[in-house]
A and B are shown apart, each in its own frame.
Chain A
């Protein structure tokens, strides 16, 4: 139980294009999903908290117009990196938290490379 998937697992795109990453909770309903970014050999950096049916809450320093988050259902949240640049290249990981629970379960991550 508590499986979270992400798609795609890897993506390479050209500078200036937009990339959408999907995060799905496969066997539970997630009222809250989180988006993290991780640099090599570093810890996870929370980018935003996404609640189903409402606007995402972004962490300080994270541009909401750059990283668009949509959480339209209890099993799906999407992160769109708009007008991607090479500095956006990173490992993006989502997590999901079930209704009334504190534990976050993580997806396998998406490796983004912007050329």
Chain B
């Protein structure tokens, strides 16, 4: 089964506020994590990634934090905009079959709704 889960299935924020989406994972051997954004009827879009040798990585308006001690991942979106409304998935790359580069396990997803 999947080893990645999300604390909150829905999140509503006001435009301009910061958003924080959380994710828990269970495989301590996972070494690579990705956040994807999926808009309705479209495929997931890569947002940001982080390797296990880091605890923070920043992109444009987004920051990913990784806490390996408690196996927790979060995505922070600064100054959230209506266009950020989507489902956000965390994904964990796990080499559980001994195959090169492994495969992704996806969390349930969090629906982010941004109100004007």
Contact = CB atoms under 8 A, between A and B. Distances in A.
Interface of A: 2, 4, 6, 32, 34, 42-44, 46, 49, 93, 95, 97, 101-109, 111
Nearest to B111: A41
Contacts, number: 50
B77 interface: no
B101 A102 contact: yes
Contact of B46 (A2, A6, A93): A2
Interface in B92-109: 93, 99, 101-104, 106-109
B49 A103 contact: yes
Interface of B: 2, 32, 34, 36, 41-46, 49, 89, 93, 99, 101-104, 106-109
B89 A102 contact: no
Contact of A108 (B36, B42, B103): B42
Given A44-B89, A103-B34, A111 B102 contact: no
Nearest to B89: A43
Given A44-B89, A107-B43, A109-B43, A34 B103 contact: yes
Contacts of A42: 108-109
5 contacts: A6-B43, A93-B44, A104-B34, A104-B104, A109-B43
Given A97-B101, A102-B102, A43 B107 contact: yes
B41 to A, nearest CB: 7
